[in-house]
A and B are shown apart, each in its own frame.
Chain A
Amino acid sequence: DGGITQSPKYLFRKEGQNVTLSCEQNLNHDAMYWYRQDPGQGLRLIYYSQIVNDFQKGDIAEGYSVSREKKESFPLTVTSAQKNPTAFYLCASSTALSNQPQHFGDGTRLSIL
């Protein structure tokens, strides 16, 4: 079955540590996205990519970095510069960067030790 796989499901970060969240899709979608979700809030866009080797900052990119070396993969690194990283992180994809429905992974819950 086609879908989006995020790993790990739960992740713990120590102070000053960078961590990388994995996102892989086999839907053959061109566009991929990373969102952050905090309790009681909607989804806020961190980064998005419409093609390989190209990505753009979203609304809250500070303290995060991404890469898009393969169409299927869009990993997100939460750097030590992100002072409040505890959140639920969701990866999504769509056929193109347009008003197409987005398909989401199951998410990664990141916590600070």
Chain B
Amino acid sequence: GQQVMQIPQYQHVQEGEDFTTYCNSSTTLSNIQWYKQRPGGHPVFLIQLVKSGEVKKQKRLTFQFGEAKKNSSLHITATQTTDVGTYFCAPWYYKLSFGAGTTVTVRA
């Protein structure tokens, strides 16, 4: 199936700092979804991006879809302990294909 690469695989962040996780594809994507999975939990849908260059914000989370629709990013500002978990991008081809995820830990 189609592959997407998420980087970094692990992100250790000091509380209050910002960080960004990236999702890269070698092919053009029709749209992309982002999910968050807390430790021991299940993935929860965060957002879907459809348009080239689209930017959506959810409080401290900013999601962006690249102009060429081959990459996407999630930027979190002022990281809090509640941001701990694994963030997956999931491009839609004929089905959702999940990236390996970025696992975020926060140092208080």
Q: Which residues of A contact B (CB under 8 A)?
A: 35, 40-45, 48, 58-59, 90, 97, 99, 101-107
Contacts and interface: CB of A to CB of B under 8 A. Distances in A.
Contact of B95 (A41, A58, A103, A105): A58
Contacts, number: 43
Interface of B: 1, 6, 9, 30-31, 33, 41-45, 48, 88, 92, 95-101
A42 B101 contact: yes
Contact of B100 (A40, A99, A103): A40
A54 to B, nearest CB: 15
A103 B1 CA distance: 22
B43 A43 contact: yes
B42 A102 contact: no
Given A90-B42, A102-B45, A104-B43, 14 more contacts: A35-B98, A40-B100, A42-B88, A43-B43, A45-B97, A48-B95, A59-B1, A97-B95, A99-B33, A99-B92, A102-B43, A102-B96, A104-B42, A106-B41
